[in-house]
Amino acid sequence: MSAKPFAFPIKVIPTDIDFMGHVNNARYLSWVQDVVLAHWQKLAPAEEVASKAWVALKHEITYRKPAFLDDEVIAETVLEKIKGARSFYNTVIRRGEDVLAEVKSMWCCLDSETHRPARISSEVAEKFFGLTSARKARAE
């Protein structure tokens, strides 16, 4: 069971552009990181945000269309499930109705001090999924 989508606006700037005149493919991955972290910071309690860090374990990206300088882009992410210290996200990057890229990613939550994997508590998962859905997501 997935959580509600979280939208994050992106402004394409000159440093995003590559030699072909469109956004460099690597920039899409940093946008995914930006939206996932913004989602965490918006919904997780302040003490969890302060005590946890996130690292990407895997990205699977499908590029559909290029983005260009000054495009107004939206990254919309959905937390699909939490399993132990891992979280699984689907992110779609759009310009208007055009899908520019689709990204499936897996992230590991770390304790900020020890840098060891840290499980997401049921109470925190509830902030993202709601009570019943959080239990289902953790059980998968």
How large is the average pLDDT for residues 33-49? 96
Question: Tens of pLDDT along 56-108?
Answer: 999 999 999 999 999 999 999 999 999 999 999 999 999 999 999 999 999 99
Q: Note if the pTM is more than 0.85.
A: yes
Measure the CA–CA gap between 67 and 12, rounded to whole angstroms: 8
Residue 65: CATH number of its domain: 3.10.129.10
Domains contained in the chain, number: 1
Please indicate whether residue 136 or residue 68 has the higher confidence score (pLDDT): 68
Q: Is 21 left (phi over 0), alpha (psi -120 to 50) or beta?
A: left
DSSP state of 81: E
Does some domain include residue 46?
A: yes
| Domain carrying residue 123 | 6-139
Query: pLDDT higher for 1 or 138?
Result: 1
Is residue 89 situated within a structural domain? yes
User: Helix, strand, coil % (nearest 5) of the chain?
Assistant: 30, 40, 25
Average pLDDT over the chain reads 91
